[in-house]
């Protein structure tokens, strides 16, 4: 509860520093913060060209590939950027940890607020593009999945930011793990490919990343819904796993934050 109170108490500072953090990422370049929007847009566009027009990859069902692909890729990009930057955030803000009395607990949330600017742009692109193809988003589910993603990111980076501060190599390990999860999660492949292996299929659906990506994608493709699938079993699994990760991360963060200034 103390951590949540810190976020609420310092919410204005979080948004202000998050905005500054976003601008500082691209300081010294001619286009400045525009690179934050250009880079992921070009990256996702290339995936569409390669998989839809060169490899001729099919989506799940009869939906256009871009309608199926774009929401999932937007959610993955948001998750990947947020987790990696927030995990390294305490080291990035080492001057605040060492020199002034500052609520260290909120530093990963500051990085998350910075990444959320790009995330909001990507989600808007997904909504607009899918509308152009005649697919209207279920906005209640979109909001739910975005909130679920933010809570999951806060939970996991509560752990990873503490570990990365004490052990610098953890940041590289997180990057490698996120690359593995990209291929283990149905971002550019669909879950129907695993129907012949029900055990592996159920295990894949229990992954938090799968839940968030599939759930956000389902908000645009209404003939399936992982949120209510199997009597909400996967939703329950997601929230239980997220809660356990948060409790673990919270315990590690509280125990180790007194040592942050010494190791930075």
Calpha distance 90→96 (Å, rounded): 9
pTM of the model: 0.88
Q: What is the mean pLDDT of the chain?
A: 83
* Per-residue confidence (pLDDT) for residue 58, from 0 to 100: 61
Rg (C-alpha) for the chain, rounded Å, is 19
Average pLDDT over residues 4-25: 80
Residue scoring higher pLDDT (227 or 18): 18
Query: H helices within the chain, ranges in order?
Result: 2-9, 11-25, 35-48, 65-87, 89-92, 94-99, 107-132, 139-166, 169-184, 198-205, 208-218, 229-256, 260-263
17-26, 117-126, 222-231, 244-253: the lowest-pLDDT one: 222-231
Here the tokens at position 158 are 């509560």
- Domain layout of the chain by residue ranges: 2-263
* Per-residue confidence (pLDDT) for residue 32, from 0 to 100: 58
* Per-residue confidence (pLDDT) for residue 128, from 0 to 100: 86
Average pLDDT over residues 93-113: 81
Residue 50: pLDDT over 80: no
Average pLDDT over residues 5-33: 74
Residue scoring higher pLDDT (230 or 203): 203
Average pLDDT over residues 212-221: 89
Calpha distance 135→153 (Å, rounded): 28
């Amino acid at each position: 509860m103390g951590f949540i109170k810190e976020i609420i108490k310092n919410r204005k500072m979080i948004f202000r520093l998050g905005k500054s953090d976003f601008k500082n990422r691209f300081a010294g370049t001619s286009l400045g913060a525009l690179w934050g929007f250009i880079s992921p847009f070009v990256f996702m566009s290339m995936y569409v060209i390669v998989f839809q027009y060169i490899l001729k990859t099919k989506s799940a069902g009869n939906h256009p590939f871009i309608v199926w692909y774009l929401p999932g890729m937007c959610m993955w990009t948001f998750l990947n950027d947020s987790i990696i930057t927030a995990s390294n955030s305490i080291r990035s803000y080492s001057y605040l940890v060492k020199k002034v009395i500052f609520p260290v607990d909120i530093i990963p949330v500051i990085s998350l607020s910075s990444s959320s600017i790009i995330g909001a742009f990507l989600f808007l692109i997904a909504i607009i593009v899918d509308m152009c193809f005649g697919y209207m988003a279920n906005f209640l589910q979109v909001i739910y999945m975005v909130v679920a993603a933010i809570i999951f990111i806060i939970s996991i980076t509560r752990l990873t930011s503490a570990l990365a501060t004490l052990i610098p190599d953890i940041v590289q390990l997180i990057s490698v793990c996120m690359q593995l999860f990209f291929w283990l999660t149905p971002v550019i492949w669909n879950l129907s490919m695993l129907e012949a292996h029900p055990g592996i299929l159920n295990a894949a659906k229990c992954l938090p990343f799968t839940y968030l990506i599939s759930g956000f994608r389902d908000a645009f493709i209404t003939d399936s819904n992982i949120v209510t699938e199997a009597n909400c079993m996967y939703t329950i699994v997601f929230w239980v796993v997220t809660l356990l990760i948060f409790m673990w991360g919270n315990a590690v963060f509280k125990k180790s934050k007194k040592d942050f200034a010494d190791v930075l």
